[in-house]
Amino acid sequence: MKGNVIVGQSGGPTAVINSSLAGVYRTAIDRGAKKVYGMRFGIQGLLDEQYVDLSKHIKNDLDVEILKRTPSAFLGTCRYKLPDIHENQDIYVKIFEILDKLNIECFIYIGGNDSMDTIKKLSDYAILMGKSQKFVGVPKTIDNDLALTDHTPGYGSAAKYIATSTKEVIRDGLGFSYKKKLVTIIEIMGRNAGWLTGASALSRGEDCDGPDLIYLPEVPFEIDRFVDRVRKLLEKKDVIVVAISEGIRTAEGKYISEFSAATDYVDAFGHKQLTGSASYLANVINQQVGCKARAVEFSTLQRSAAHLASRVDVNEAFMVGGAAVKAADEGDTGRMVVIDRVSDDPYQSATGIYDVHKIANGEKLVPREWINKEGTYVTEEFIDYVRPLIQGDSPCVMVGGIPRHLYMSSGRGKKGE
Amino acid sequence: MKGNVIVGQSGGPTAVINSSLAGVYRTAIDRGAKKVYGMRFGIQGLLDEQYVDLSKHIKNDLDVEILKRTPSAFLGTCRYKLPDIHENQDIYVKIFEILDKLNIECFIYIGGNDSMDTIKKLSDYAILMGKSQKFVGVPKTIDNDLALTDHTPGYGSAAKYIATSTKEVIRDGLGFSYKKKLVTIIEIMGRNAGWLTGASALSRGEDCDGPDLIYLPEVPFEIDRFVDRVRKLLEKKDVIVVAISEGIRTAEGKYISEFSAATDYVDAFGHKQLTGSASYLANVINQQVGCKARAVEFSTLQRSAAHLASRVDVNEAFMVGGAAVKAADEGDTGRMVVIDRVSDDPYQSATGIYDVHKIANGEKLVPREWINKEGTYVTEEFIDYVRPLIQGDSPCVMVGGIPRHLYMSSGRGKKGE
């Protein structure tokens, strides 16, 4: 490689998004990049010339290892959709001015569907204008809803956190059960896809019954039938645990969270928060069944718990970051690296590469046949698919009793810092 | 020891309550107990003759190690207060009939303030009636609100979970900060004592700024001043994290969570919705400051996250369990084992023993001088006190990618099982 590399992160954070960043950095250096720049806050920050020289922040091999174990976007992310080229060419002119100035050869973007749209537009523009830069995307999302890749980096660690925490919540309930009935409703992320909520089933094993019911957004939710099921279950056992996606909704498309006006606030991206479904349903159980009910939200913890990351996930995230640099350096552009599952048992995976024009904006849901007929649990096929992704630990470097993270001194980065 | 030992668990669960159980079991066997019985669901279950022979559930040394890493009460707990002896002697007669039948020599009860009341009453009754059984208590509570002991087993692990998760939540917020302001409010357990919430300050270090504000129940909370502080902080930085105890309340004693009932939010049944304090304050910030705000509740996770237990805590919990058996076997009764801090740096602790008549029902709060003048943070003294208690890890035995727990086959235990 003769020129430089620039890398950005986009969309929601994950526990391993920085492992991909570490993979990009390490491979870029190995392949002879003079400089590896990091965009602060993705393409939006780049437009304001917010970028850093990563070698000033990743100073040695220990820093690389700590970066791999640091959750949430080290560089910061954005949710910024580029306009179509014909709508506003000025933005493209500006971006390429910056890239030319920094002598960028490879542009790597770590993100979900929206980020692949950015890769697509920038590579199209480069080809159109005869620019030499190569643009390659690295998949990332806890939601696992990207098409064409077997799974997305970030999903395995979130699934491991959810499986472990669900098991701990189930144990917590068991201790209380004497002459008391208790229903616990766990709310898990996932607006449209139930991959995360389904992972709660991984808690089931020789030493744990797992949740009693699991509801994904892929199947319409009926409050009355839910109450009936809980009532029937309570005739047989005292302690019930239910896992629901935040995105469950009625056949008419009304989110369960909308039934409760309790949370009116919006998230960092201005989306109305879907939280509160579990809390609402706990109230319903309490009032209609007359039994003690409580809600547990895994909230933001499930996407940032690097202390419980899956080793498979950390390694794959690193691998796809490196593969993206290799692909761009070898001339690929307008593409996204994907993970192909080579074998289930023993689990093996390898990277592949796809045209982003085929990938962007398609949302991969849990197949209906991986959910039972009643829509109240996932099947063994689902579990067999996810189980390999949560294997292995990635022990943090503990300092003062808590995990050490790589830290970029505060502020948004200065021009060319 | 010539006779047998019986052990029970009581009150809220912790991540290490079973490490104390393991300590009781191991020491009882080592000291020659013929049988070690476990009460199912504490003294309440015992009254129904619900108990198990622990050797049928703890079969080998590996089981002991797994039990130490299993959260929530393995035997089940209860919240049951014995009547005064003169109020209802029948209950005492019944308990001692069971103890005689099982040839119990030592009665060990793992719990908080209420459990020590049980130890007190049973030992008083035994002395009164010339019974030979010895009764010794083992402290346990995540709240750390027991008097006379330097700290309680269970607190260190909860503090480690809170410090780690707070750090991860702070990181999560940092990734979003470009041209956006975001306030995150973390709700932590603790109705009257702020020990748990104060532990969020342990997230602060070279690589993390820690929470911006910390509010404990020991200091009256003023909503208007809180909003002013947040507004002022937002002039200097974009991303604010606030840690609050669930028990914060006004000078008049009104819990912040009660304010949400006064809002106009009504659920589908016309009942006013009771949301958490953090959720309420996030709404206040959203509406009064006009800035994005979100709530994160650590909820039940903070007391059952054995996967992130502190090694110091796991070992001390085991140690106090063993010390209780030793004390009872040597003739102590009506006493509770405590932890004495022998040295701060290097941290060393040892067990001591106190008369439960001096201990029961006193609630230990965070000293006012360990909270800053404004009531918005804990002091260095607080941090120095807690830091040693979160040291070291207690890696779980991972099976299928998640922690293995010791499991008692379902059901409440049969007579003499």
Question: Which of the four pLDDT bands, split at 50, 70 and 90, describes residue A175?
Answer: confident
| % of chain A residues with pLDDT over 90 | 87
Q: Are A390 and A159 in contact (CB under 8 A)?
A: yes
Rg of chain A, C-alpha, whole Å:
22
Q: With an 8 Å Cβ cutoff, is B245 touching chain A?
A: no
Question: Which of the four pLDDT bands, split at 50, 70 and 90, describes residue B413?
Answer: very low
Question: Which of the four pLDDT bands, split at 50, 70 and 90, describes residue A273?
Answer: low
Q: Which residue has the tokens 């912040």?
A: B256
8-state DSSP, A336: E
Chain A nearest CA to B260, separation (Å): 9
Q: How far is CA A208 from the centre of its chain?
A: 26
Structure tokens at A320: 């796809």
Residue B366 has pLDDT above 50, yes or no: yes
Q: Do A202 and B294 touch (CB under 8 A)?
A: no
8-state DSSP, B208: B
Distances in Å between the alpha carbon of A142 and those of A16, A72, A240?
A: 9, 11, 27
Residue B266 has pLDDT above 60, yes or no: no
pLDDT tens for each residue of B292-318: 999 999 999 999 999 999 999 999 999
> Of A114, A117, A143, A332, which one is the catalytic site residue?
A143
Residue B105 has pLDDT above 60, yes or no: yes
Question: Which of the four pLDDT bands, split at 50, 70 and 90, describes residue B177?
Answer: low
Question: Which of the four pLDDT bands, split at 50, 70 and 90, describes residue A272?
Answer: low
In angstroms, the CA B293 to CA B326 distance is 52
Average pLDDT over residues A65-90: 95
Across chain B, mean pLDDT equals 92
8-state DSSP, B142: T
Residue A143 is among the residues annotated as catalytic for this protein: yes
Question: Which of the four pLDDT bands, split at 50, 70 and 90, describes residue A165?
Answer: very high
Q: Which residues pair with A113 in a beta bridge?
A: none
Residue A417 has pLDDT above 50, yes or no: no
Average pLDDT over residues B205-229: 97
Residue-level pLDDT at A358: 83
Chain A partners within 8 Å of B76 (Cβ): 174-178
Residue A279 has pLDDT above 80, yes or no: yes
Q: Which residues pair with B338 in a beta bridge?
A: B352
Q: Are A163 and B401 in contact (CB under 8 A)?
A: yes
ipTM: 0.94
Residue A276 has pLDDT above 70, yes or no: yes
B4-141+307-361+393-403 against B155-304: fold identical = yes
Residue B264 has pLDDT above 50, yes or no: no
Average pLDDT over residues B43-47: 96
Residue A413 has pLDDT above 60, yes or no: no
Q: Beginning with the edge strand found earlier in the chain, give each strand of the sheet holding A213-215 in spatial order.
A: A213-215, A239-245, A182-188, A292-297
> Of B84, B90, B114, B143, which one is the catalytic site residue?
B143
From the list B340, B359, B365, B343, the residue with the least C-alpha distance to B351 is B340
Question: Which of the four pLDDT bands, split at 50, 70 and 90, describes residue A147?
Answer: confident
| % of chain A residues with pLDDT over 70 | 94
Average pLDDT over residues A161-168: 98
pLDDT tens for each residue of A121-131: 999 999 999 99
Residue-level pLDDT at A342: 97
B10, B50, B171: best to mutate for the A interface, most A CBs within 10 A:
B171
8-state DSSP, B278: H
Structure tokens at B22: 């393991």
In angstroms, the CA B257 to CA B35 distance is 48
Structure tokens at B178: 């470009």
Q: Which CATH number fits domain B155-304: 3.40.50.460, 3.40.50.300, 3.20.20.10, 3.40.190.290?
A: 3.40.50.460
8-state DSSP, B390: G
From the list B138, B140, B136, B137, the residue with the least C-alpha distance to B152 is B140
Residue A179 has pLDDT above 90, yes or no: no
Q: Which CATH number fits domain B4-141+307-361+393-403: 3.50.50.60, 3.40.50.1370, 3.40.50.450, 3.30.460.10?
A: 3.40.50.450
Structure tokens at B120: 């007190």
Average pLDDT over residues A349-371: 90
Residue-level pLDDT at A359: 73
Query: Domain residues of chain A, as ranges?
Result: 4-141+309-361+393-403, 155-304
Residue B274 has pLDDT above 50, yes or no: no
Residue A269 has pLDDT above 50, yes or no: no
- The topology (CATH level 3) of A4-141+309-361+393-403 is Rossmann fold (3.40.50)
| % of chain B residues with pLDDT over 70 | 93
Q: Which residues pair with A241 in a beta bridge?
A: A184
3-state helix, strand, coil in chain B (%, to 5): 40, 20, 40
Distances in Å between the alpha carbon of B123 and those of A356, B106, B127, B278, B325?
A: 74, 11, 6, 43, 15
In angstroms, the CA B185 to CA B294 distance is 6
Q: Which residue of A has its CA nearest to B183?
A: A268
Residue-level pLDDT at B268: 38
Question: Which of the four pLDDT bands, split at 50, 70 and 90, describes residue A360?
Answer: low
Q: Do B171 and A405 touch (CB under 8 A)?
A: yes
